[in-house]
Amino acid sequence: MNLKSTNKSKIMKTNNIFSSLIALLFLVMPLIGWSQSEWMVSDSKQKDKNPIAYSDASVKAGKTQFMTNCKSCHGDPTKNNGLPLVPKPTDIALQTFLDKNTDGSIYHKITDGQTTMPSYSAILNDQQRWDIVNFIRSFDKNHSIEKPAKTIAQKPKKKVVEIIIEAPYYLTLNVDVANNKASVLLEGTSKGKKLPIKDAEIFIGIERYYNPLAIMDAGATTNDKGLLEVSYPINLPSGPEGKTQITAYVIDKERFGAISAKAEVILQASHHDKLTETRALWADRSHFPWWLMITYLSIIIIVWGVMFKVILNMFQIKKLGQ
């Protein structure tokens, strides 16, 4: 009788320990998410001023970089449709976010990164990061821009009849292989005729594994003829056959819709065997990183071990009760 009571007390004690561990795990996870969402930078970094003057050109350049590097996680500004990560990427147009973060805070968050957000210090240069800050600040309703002290009187301009160009819109991509150039033509419709659209911001890039590599200047727009011309490098590694694609699309999707165009080009052929011979995330299964494999297997073994132990203890309790 005493032995049976002793065994029963040991089992109950073990169950209490495992129950406490599981409860602690569930308590810690929300705290981790909360601590990640409370992302603060040092006071000295918060006080950093933006050396890039706030202008339409800077906002356009920042928008291009945001759409290329940040939109995939943060989603479209004002729409709160970022990826469902933990913590969820912030909608950069939220007024609470803009009020809480100075220009220096936003810049250093982009630069340093944290948890699910990578560091962009080696991806974007200083001006590109500050341009993104200006683009984010463009959604701030409380952001004020210093106006010039004096205004110069201008002669009244002659009235110009405005031609309204509407949908459907057309985007045409042409590639000049001989001169390594690509040109994009953006047209709209007015009274049944196609007319060029000027000052439309266009993205032109070369396809790669993740986001396309931009080959146009930041904030590049179409000219009076609706054209945007760029040169592309031919010495980019592009697989064994050297085949890749140039892709182009209009940045302002709200006005023009999701129109895009692609064209195939031949660049420098390359072989990536050396990339798969090293133990890295992009390697094949035989060269998978040991630390990641051990971590994964350890988590699986621990979780299933705990579950098996709990089930085993339940059977032992049932036997002791009989």
Which stretches in the chain have pLDDT values below 70? 1-38, 145-162, 239, 269-277, 282, 284
Amino acid, single-letter form, for residue 105: S
Q: What's the confidence (pLDDT) of residue 236?
A: 79
Verify that 130 and 89 share a domain, yes or no. Answer: yes
From residue 40, give the alpha-carbon distance in Å to each of 33, 105, 164, 190: 14, 8, 48, 51
How many distinct structural domains can be found in the chain?
3
Verify that 4 and 65 share a domain, yes or no. Answer: no
Q: What's the confidence (pLDDT) of residue 5?
A: 55
**Structural domain contains residue 265:** yes
Write out the two tokens for 64.
Answer: 């291009």
Gyration radius (Cα) of the chain, Å: 29
Domain extent at residue 230? 166-272
Q: What's the confidence (pLDDT) of residue 24?
A: 59
- Output the domain CATH number for residue 174: 2.60.40.10
**pTM of the shown model:** 0.48
141-196 tens-digit pLDDT: 988 765 444 444 555 656 656 677 877 899 999 999 889 899 999 999 988 899 99
Q: What's the confidence (pLDDT) of residue 34?
A: 44
Verify that 74 and 104 share a domain, yes or no. Answer: yes
**Structural domain contains residue 279:** no
**Structural domain contains residue 219:** yes
- Output the domain CATH number for residue 99: 1.10.760.10
Verify that 132 and 206 share a domain, yes or no. Answer: no
Verify that 121 and 177 share a domain, yes or no. Answer: no
**Structural domain contains residue 107:** yes
Please state the separation of Cα 222 from the chain's center in Å.
Answer: 26
Q: What's the confidence (pLDDT) of residue 149?
A: 42
**Structural domain contains residue 308:** no
83-116 tens-digit pLDDT: 888 788 999 999 999 999 999 999 999 999 887 7
